[in-house]
Amino acid sequence: AQKITQTQPGMFVQEKEAVTLDCTYDTSDQSYGLFWYKQPSSGEMIFLIYQGSYDEQNATEGRYSLNFQKARKSANLVISASQLGDSAMYFCAMREGHRNSGYALNFGKGTSLLVTP
Protein backbone atom coordinates (compact mmCIF):
# COMPACT_ATOMS: atom_id res chain seq x y z
CA ALA A 1 0.00 0.00 0.00
CA GLN A 2 1.18 3.48 -0.80
CA LYS A 3 2.41 5.34 2.23
CA ILE A 4 2.63 8.69 0.47
CA THR A 5 0.22 9.77 -2.25
CA GLN A 6 0.74 12.74 -4.50
CA THR A 7 -2.27 12.90 -6.78
CA GLN A 8 -1.08 15.69 -9.07
CA PRO A 9 1.45 14.41 -11.61
CA GLY A 10 1.77 17.90 -13.11
CA MET A 11 0.82 21.44 -12.15
CA PHE A 12 1.04 24.83 -13.85
CA VAL A 13 1.17 28.16 -12.06
CA GLN A 14 1.76 31.68 -13.26
CA GLU A 15 4.69 33.62 -11.91
CA LYS A 16 3.92 35.49 -8.65
CA GLU A 17 0.86 33.34 -7.96
CA ALA A 18 0.59 30.86 -5.08
CA VAL A 19 0.32 27.13 -5.68
CA THR A 20 -0.60 24.18 -3.47
CA LEU A 21 0.92 20.74 -4.02
CA ASP A 22 -1.06 17.94 -2.43
CA CYS A 23 0.27 15.13 -0.27
CA THR A 24 -1.62 12.56 1.76
CA TYR A 25 -0.01 9.89 3.87
CA ASP A 26 -0.84 6.65 5.57
CA THR A 27 0.59 5.60 8.90
CA SER A 28 -0.57 4.03 12.13
CA ASP A 29 2.30 5.60 14.07
CA GLN A 30 1.71 8.52 16.41
CA SER A 31 5.22 9.83 15.87
CA TYR A 32 6.31 10.64 12.35
CA GLY A 33 7.83 13.40 10.27
CA LEU A 34 6.86 14.80 6.89
CA PHE A 35 9.33 16.37 4.50
CA TRP A 36 9.19 18.11 1.15
CA TYR A 37 12.07 17.99 -1.29
CA LYS A 38 12.59 19.82 -4.57
CA GLN A 39 14.32 18.17 -7.52
CA PRO A 40 15.26 20.55 -10.34
CA SER A 41 15.99 19.22 -13.82
CA SER A 42 19.66 19.00 -12.84
CA GLY A 43 18.70 16.11 -10.57
CA GLU A 44 19.78 17.05 -7.06
CA MET A 45 17.40 16.69 -4.10
CA ILE A 46 16.95 19.86 -2.07
CA PHE A 47 15.32 19.80 1.37
CA LEU A 48 12.58 22.43 1.67
CA ILE A 49 10.52 22.03 4.81
CA TYR A 50 9.67 19.67 7.67
CA GLN A 51 6.53 19.05 9.74
CA GLY A 52 6.47 16.84 12.82
CA SER A 53 3.38 14.92 13.82
CA TYR A 54 3.35 16.59 17.22
CA ASP A 55 3.92 20.10 15.92
CA GLU A 56 0.88 22.20 16.64
CA GLN A 57 1.72 24.94 14.19
CA ASN A 58 2.11 24.63 10.45
CA ALA A 59 5.74 24.79 9.35
CA THR A 60 6.93 27.78 7.35
CA GLU A 61 10.24 28.41 5.61
CA GLY A 62 10.41 31.58 3.57
CA ARG A 63 7.98 31.24 0.64
CA TYR A 64 7.22 27.64 1.58
CA SER A 65 4.56 26.66 4.08
CA LEU A 66 3.01 23.36 4.95
CA ASN A 67 -0.73 23.01 5.39
CA PHE A 68 -0.80 20.16 7.90
CA GLN A 69 -4.17 18.57 8.58
CA LYS A 70 -3.47 15.66 10.86
CA ALA A 71 -6.99 14.25 11.02
CA ARG A 72 -7.12 14.13 7.22
CA LYS A 73 -3.53 12.87 7.05
CA SER A 74 -2.55 15.54 4.59
CA ALA A 75 0.55 17.71 4.38
CA ASN A 76 0.17 20.02 1.43
CA LEU A 77 3.02 22.29 0.35
CA VAL A 78 2.12 25.89 -0.40
CA ILE A 79 4.53 27.97 -2.45
CA SER A 80 3.72 31.66 -2.37
CA ALA A 81 4.79 34.21 -5.00
CA SER A 82 6.00 31.56 -7.46
CA GLN A 83 9.22 32.22 -9.35
CA LEU A 84 10.46 30.73 -12.61
CA GLY A 85 13.18 28.95 -10.63
CA ASP A 86 10.50 27.02 -8.72
CA SER A 87 9.90 24.86 -11.81
CA ALA A 88 10.93 21.39 -10.66
CA MET A 89 9.69 18.04 -9.34
CA TYR A 90 8.45 18.19 -5.77
CA PHE A 91 8.47 15.12 -3.56
CA CYS A 92 6.63 14.57 -0.31
CA ALA A 93 8.28 12.08 2.04
CA MET A 94 7.51 10.55 5.42
CA ARG A 95 9.72 9.23 8.13
CA GLU A 96 8.03 7.04 10.70
CA GLY A 97 9.16 7.22 14.27
CA HIS A 98 10.21 3.69 15.16
CA ARG A 99 13.92 3.07 15.29
CA ASN A 100 13.71 -0.33 13.61
CA SER A 101 12.69 1.39 10.40
CA GLY A 102 16.19 2.81 10.12
CA TYR A 103 14.50 6.13 9.72
CA ALA A 104 14.23 5.63 5.99
CA LEU A 105 12.27 8.19 4.03
CA ASN A 106 9.26 6.94 2.11
CA PHE A 107 8.70 9.11 -0.96
CA GLY A 108 5.65 9.89 -3.05
CA LYS A 109 5.76 9.80 -6.84
CA GLY A 110 6.20 13.53 -7.08
CA THR A 111 4.49 16.49 -8.69
CA SER A 112 6.05 18.30 -11.62
CA LEU A 113 5.54 22.04 -11.24
CA LEU A 114 5.94 24.42 -14.16
CA VAL A 115 5.95 28.15 -13.47
CA THR A 116 5.02 30.22 -16.49
CA PRO A 117 5.81 33.91 -17.09
Residue 105 interacts with another protein (CB under 8 A): yes or no: yes
- Residues from 30 through 89 that contact another protein (CB under 8 A): 31-33, 35, 37, 42-47, 50, 52
Residue 114 interacts with another protein (CB under 8 A): yes or no: no
Identify which of 74, 85, 61 has the alpha carbon closest to the alpha carbon of residue 108.
Answer: 74
Q: How many residues bind another protein (CB under 8 A)?
A: 28
Shortest separation between residue 85's beta carbon and another protein, angstroms? 17
**Is the torsion defined by CA of 20, 26, 28, 31 positive or negative?**
negative
Residue 25 interacts with another protein (CB under 8 A): yes or no: no
Q: Catalog residues that contact another protein under the rule CB under 8 A.
A: 31-33, 35, 37, 42-47, 50, 52, 91, 93, 95, 97, 100-110
